[in-house]
Amino acid sequence: MDRRSFITRAGIVTAAAATGTACSSTPKGGEPAPLNVAKSNTRFGNPLPTEAQLGANGKLHKTPGIRTMYTRCFTCNNMCGLRVRIDEASDKVLKVGGNPYCEMNSGSPLPLSMPVRDSYAALAGNTGLENRATTCGKGASGVGCVDDPRRVTQVLKRVGKRGEGKWKSISYEQALTEILEGGDLFGEGHVDGLKAIRQLDKPAVPGYPEFGSAANRLLATFGEEDTLRGSLYARFMRQAYGTVNLVTKHAYCGAPTGIGYGIGLAPGLEPGLGDIDWDNVEYAMFLGTAPSASGASLNLLGRNLADARVERNLKYTSVDPLLRTEVANDTRAQWLPIRPGRDAAFMMALMQVMFAENWFNAEFLAIPNADAAKAAGEVNHSNASHLVVTDAKHKDHTLFAKASDFGVGGDEAMVVENGKLVSANLAKKADLFVDGLFTDVNGNQVQLTSSLALLKAQANQAPLASLSADCGIQQSQIKQAARDLTHHGRKATVVTNSGANSGDAIMVGWLVSTMNTLIGSHDAKGGTLYANGAYWGFEGNYNLGGFDGELDVSADINICRSGAYEDSTEYKQKVAKGENPYPASDMWHNLVAGYASFNAAEALTAHTNANPYTAKALFNWRSNALYSAASISNDVEKALVDTDKLPLFVAIDCYMNETNRYADYFIPDRVMYEEYAADRMWGAFKLGVVAGAPLVTPRTPKNAKGQHICMEQFMIDMAMAMDLPGFGKGAIPAADGRKVDLLTFEDWHSRYLANIAGQCSKLPEVSDEDREWAALEYSMAPLRPRLTGEEVAKVEALLSRGGYYEEAERYDGDFINGGGGKFLQIYNADMAQLRHCHSGERYPGVPSYEAKRFWNGDTWEQHWPEKEFPLLFSNYKPTLRSNYSAAFDRCAEVTPQNFVYMNIDTAAEMGLTDGDKVRVVSGNGTPAEGVLQADSGVAKGSVCVSHCFGHKKAYGADTRIIDGKVIEGIARRGGGTAVNQMIPADPTRPGKVSMLNDYYAGTNCRQGIPVRVEKA
C-alpha cells in the first residue's frame, strides 16, 4: 500500500483497520472480533480500539465493546459538536473527535437524513477526507476530564479556615441540611442558612426600595452559556428563591464589544456581533485578533480560513499587537501591528480615509426606509440620511427631528431629498451629508444634521497623522487597508472580539458595525454573516419558562446597580432637595443593563465594598470570577475569606478553581460528558442546536436516594426542602393538561429536550440500526419513562445526530438567506439619551474616539503617566487553553507555560533580553512575573501575555487535604503567568475596591493597559 492510500483509508476507521493488525482480527465471516487492547503487545504503546471496522465483506461493523455517541463540547463557549468513543467495559472515554453532521466540525456537514451507520462510513475510505469532522486541540484534550485525579468527587466541608485547602468529606444530606438550616456550622459562631436569608418581606437596603428584598443577599454566580443546565439554576435562584443577584461572566468576557456592535445594528440598545460569510468573502479584517484565535469556533474558523486561503486566495489583514500563526506566510495575509487598546484610533483613521476618498457605499446609505430598500433590491437600510436635531436649545436636541414639526409628516424622522425636507418614510434616495438651518411649522430656524454628516465630522476630529501615531500604524498602511476594505464590493467585512476590550471597547464594537454599514456588507453574500439562531426549550409540550407562584424580580436593581441612576432613590432625593444629582455616589450601569452588569466580578466588588450591601451567602456554580475577571482586586479575595463579611459560601463544580477554593461546602458536579446538552453554536450559519446526553456513568457520588449528586439535584432538593414553588411533584405543567414532576436531574432535561425536539420540524425517523449506532439505548434509558411515545421518537432523533441542523439554501440572490430586515444605525438616538452617572453628560450618538477615561472623567494618563508606564499591555486567548482545559493533561503538556512577549527592539530599549525573568507592573494592580520572549512578532511598545495560565492554586495544581490525607498539587497545571490581577483598577471610583471599566458600559477592560516591564 502506498502512503497516499494508507492515509486516505486511515480516517475514522483507523490505520489499524487498514493494516495487517485489523485484518488479522477479522474472521472469515466478515464480522470483526472484539479487539482486546489490554493484551496487545506493541512496541510503541497500544492503539485505541477503533469506532468501527471494515469487515472482510467490505461492510462497516461497530467495534464490539465500543460505544460511540454524538454530543457537544463545553471546553469553551463555542459549543461545537463531538463524536466521543467510549470503552464499555471500563466505562471510560477513549477519544474525542468531531460530529460530521455538525457545521462546527465539518466543512461539508452530512444531511440529517443520512443514517448514523452511514455517517461513520462517510468518515472512512475515499470519502474520509471530504467528510472529515474535526475538533480543536483543547476540545480533543478533554478526554481525561471524567477520570481526572484532581476532580472533586466527594461532598466536602471545610475544616480549616477558608481557602486553607483542608476539607472533610460529609454526606450530601448533611450538607443539604446545614446549608439550608444554618447554625454554628464551623465552630466560629452562628451562620444563617438559606431559609433564614430568604426574607421576602424585608428590604435588602432599608430606605432604598429599588434594591428589592433581603432575599437578594443570596448572591449566585454561574456560567450562563450552558442554557439547558443554567436554566434550572436560574429557575431556582430567580423565580423560586427570589434573588435578583444571579450574575455571570459576560461583562468581563465578550459583552463590551458585543454591546458596542449592537448599538450600530438596530434602534434601541441590544447586543449583537457579526461573523464572516466564509464561502464568498474576498477580504476580511480582524481587529484585535487573528482569524481562529478568538470569537467563533476554532474548528469552524480554522477550516474556513484554510479553505478561503487556498480556494479563493482570500486577502486578509490582522490588526493585532501580536503576530499569530494564523497569519500565514505565502498567503495574502497581512499583519498590522497595532498598539494595544488603540483600535478606535485605527478605525477612525480608516473611516477618515474612506470619507476623504468617497470609498463607501453611497447608493446603499442613501436608502432611508424599508420600502425603498425593497424596491432597490436591498435587504437592509440605514438612518445615514436621517436628520438629527443638533440645536442644543431645541426640545428634541440629540433626537431625530420629527416630520410633523416641519410639516412633512408624523412622528417619523425626516431626510432631505432633491433639496427638500421629506418624511423618511416616503423618500427613496436621500442626501447623505446635510447640515443646515431648517424652518419648522412655528417659523423657527432649527439646526439639523444628517447622521452621516455627524459621523464624518467625528471621523475628522483628529488629523490622520495623529491617529496614525496613536495606533502605531503608518498612514500609508491605513490608506491601503481602507482601499482593501472598500474595493471588494460587499464581499468584505471587519470582525472583532474581546481583543479590543479596552476603556473604549463599546466604541470599538460600534465602529466595527458602522464600518460594515458603510460598505453595505451586513447580510451580504461574502460579507457579514449573522447566525440563523438556535432553539430554546422553555416552551412546547412542557412549560419550563414559568410556574404558579414564581417570583418576578425583574424590577429589582441588582448589587452591581444595573439600571438608570435617574430612577434611583438617591437621584430623586437630590433632585427633591434642589441639588445637582450628579455625580452619583457610585457607578450605575445603564447601558444594556441586563447584559453588561449582571457581572459576577462587579457583584463581588460591591460585596467587598459593602455597597449597597454585602452578600449573606454566595453560590458559585461553574464560575471563576477571581481568576477570569481583569482588574479584580486581591481585596475581593480577602473579602471571600472573611466569614463575618460572607457567612456562607457554597461551591458547585467538578474542579476546584481560584474562586470556589474559598467555599465552605463543595458539591461535586457532572463534567461535560456526563450531562445533557442543547445549546446554540457561535458562528454557525444554520438554524440549529447542538445536543447530547451523558456518555458515561457520572463519577459524582450518590445521595441517600441513589441519585448522582450534581447541581440540578441539589437545586431540586433544596427547593423541595424549603417548599419553594416550581419544584417537586406536579411542578411542570404539560400542554396536554398533565402536571409532571420535577424531582430529579432527568425530570428537567427530558422535558427540555422534548420541547427542543418538538420544534425541529425535519428530524429524521430513527431506525433500529440508528439506535444501535448512536447508542440510544444507553442515552434514552433515563429519558424514556418520562416522555410520551411521540416525544421519545423525536428526542431519539435529536440525540442520534448530536443535534439538529436545519438545511437551508445559503443565499438568496446577493444576500444571505434568512438575513436582512436590519435598520442600521449610523446615529443611535437611544444611546444619545443616556447620561453618564458621574458627569451627567449625554452619551454620544455616533461612535467617537476619546482619551481613555476613568469613572470621574480623569484620563488614564493623569494617573498612569507614560513616563512611568511607557508600554501598553495586551491579553489574548491562546488556542489550546480555556477555563477548564487547565486541568487537561494534554493541554498542559503541549503548552506548559505562557510568555511575556515584547518586541525585540522595545525589550532592548528597556535593557531586557529574551529569556529574562521579568515583572509586569501597572498603576495599582498586583505585578505579574513571567519569562520574556522578545522577537519581531510583537508591536513596538507593547507587552502581550496570554490568558488561561498561572493557575497556581486551582484545577489540581493546588495541594489539598481531604479527611487528613494530603493530595499533592500537580505542578504542571499551574505553569505560566496569570495576568488579571496585574490589570489595575479605576482609582477614582468610590469604595475600597474597584474595577477598570469601559467609560460608558462599565464592562471590564483588559487591553491597552499602561505598564512597565522590569527585570524580576
Q: Write out the residues near ligand SF4 by the rule CB under 6 A.
A: 73, 75-76, 78-80, 135-136, 138-139, 297-299, 882
- Provide, rounded to whole angstroms, the least separation between the CB of residue 300 and ligand SF4: 8
| Nearer CB in complex with ligand SF4: 239/294 | 294
Is residue 192 classed exposed, middle or buried when 0-12, 13-18 and 19+ CB atoms within 10 A define those classes? middle
Nearer to ligand SF4, 143 or 430 (CB): 143
Query: What is the nearest approach in angstroms of ligand SF4 to the Cβ of residue 306?
Result: 15
- 139 vs 844 by CB, closer to ligand SF4: 139
Smallest gap from residue 888 Cβ to ligand SF4 (A): 10
CB of 292: closest distance to ligand SF4 in angstroms?
9
Is residue 199 within 8 Å of residue 213, measured between CB atoms? yes
Q: How far apart (Å, rounded) are the C-alpha atoms in residues 891 and 139?
A: 10
The closest residue (CB) to ligand SF4 is: 139
CB of 302 to ligand SF4, least distance (A): 9
Choose between 78 and 750: whose C-beta lies nearer to ligand SF4.
Answer: 78
Which one, 248 or 703, has the nearer CB to ligand SF4?
248
Task: Read off the amino acid at residue 903.
Answer: N
Q: Which residues contact 530 (CB under 8 A, 6 or more apart)?
A: 272, 274, 275, 522, 523, 816, 819
Give the residue among 850, 756, 747, 189 at the shortest CA–CA distance from 462. 850
Concatenate the DSSP letters of all residues of 471-494 into one string.
Answer: HT--HHHHHHHHHHHHSSTTSEEE
Q: 659 to each of 1, 477, 604, how far by Cα in Å?
A: 55, 44, 11
The burial of 962, by beta-carbon neighbours within 10 Å (0-12 exposed, 13-18 middle, 19 or more buried), is given as middle
| Interatomic CA distance for residues 625 and 657, integer angstroms | 10
3-state SS string over 765-787?
CCCHHHHHHCCHHHHHCCCHHHC
The sheet carrying 283-287 orders its strands as 332-336, 315-319, 283-287, 492-496
Tell me whether residue 531 or residue 907 sits nearer to ligand SF4 (CB atom). Answer: 531
Query: At a CB cut-off of 8 Å and minimum separation 6, what does 320 contact?
Result: 286, 287, 288, 289, 290, 335, 336, 337, 338, 499
Beta-carbon count within 10 A of 377 CB: 9
* Least Å from the CB of residue 73 to ligand SF4: 3
Establish whether the linkage from the previous residue to 612 is cis, with ω within 30° of 0: yes
Q: Phi, psi at residue 235, to the nearest 5°?
A: -60, -45
DSSP string, 77-139: TT--EEEEEEETTTTEEEEEE--TT-TTTBSSPPPTTS-HHHHHHHTSGGGTTTT-B---HHH
- Closest to ligand SF4 by CB, 136 or 285: 136
Instruction: Identify residue 673 by its one-letter amino acid code.
Output: Y
297 versus 933: smaller Cβ distance to ligand SF4: 297
Cβ at position 375, least distance to ligand SF4 in Å:
42
Strands 811-812 and 815-816: antiparallel
Task: Collapse the DSSP code of 900 into the 3-class scheme (helix H, G, I; strand E, B; otherwise coil) and give the result.
Answer: strand
Q: Which one, 140 or 560, has the nearer CB to ligand SF4?
A: 140
CB nearer to ligand SF4: pick between 672 and 718: 672
- Taking the complex as a whole, the smallest distance from the CB of residue 828 to ligand SF4 amounts, in Å, to 32
* CB closer to ligand SF4 out of 105 and 458: 105
Neighbours of 806 (CB within 10 A): 16
Minimal distance, residue 759 CB to ligand SF4, in Å = 23
- The residues with which 901 forms a beta bridge, in sequence order, are 933, 944
C-beta of 297: minimal distance to ligand SF4 in Å?
4
Nearer to ligand SF4, 680 or 708 (CB): 680
In the complex with ligand SF4, the residue whose CB is nearer, 298 or 389, is 298
Residue 513 CB, shortest distance to ligand SF4, in Å, is 24
CA distances from 522 to 149, 318, 428, 827 (A): 48, 20, 20, 17
Cα gap 641→656, rounded to integer Å: 16
- Angle of helix 464-471 relative to helix 475-486, nearest 10 degrees? 100
Q: DSSP string of 519-561?
A: TT-BTBTTSEE----B---SSSSB--S--TT----TTS--TT-
- The closest of 692, 681, 688 to 96, measured between CA atoms, is 692
> Is the CB of 128 or the CB of 139 nearer to ligand SF4?
139
**Minimum separation from the CB atom of position 141 to ligand SF4 (A):** 9
For residue 105, the minimal CB distance to ligand SF4 (Å) is 8
Of 297 and 800, which CB lies nearer to ligand SF4 in the complex structure?
297
CB of 894 to ligand SF4, least distance (A): 14
Residue type, 207: G
**Shortest CB 881 distance to ligand SF4, Å:** 10
CA 466 to centroid of chain Cα atoms? 34
Is the omega angle on the peptide bond into residue 984 within 30 degrees of 0, that is, cis? no
Q: How far is CA 283 from CA 308, 350, 497, 609, in A?
A: 10, 15, 18, 48
Task: Report the alpha-carbon distance of residue 827 to residue 743 in Å, rounded.
Answer: 51
**Exposed (0-12), middle (13-18) or buried (19+): which is 904, by Cβ within 10 Å?**
middle
Query: Of the two residues 217 and 881, which places its CB atom closer to ligand SF4 in the complex?
Result: 881
The least distance separating ligand SF4 from the CB of residue 81, rounded to whole angstroms, comes to 8
- Tell me how far apart the alpha carbons of residues 574 and 571 are, in angstroms, rounded to a whole number: 5
Closest to ligand SF4 by CB, 141 vs 605, is 141
Q: Measured from the CB of residue 802, what is the shortest distance to ligand SF4 in angstroms?
A: 13
Least CB distance from residue 82 to ligand SF4, whole Å?
A: 7
Q: 663 with 640: CB under 8 angstroms?
A: no
Q: Which is nearer to ligand SF4, 78 or 501 (CB)?
A: 78
Strand partners, 785: none
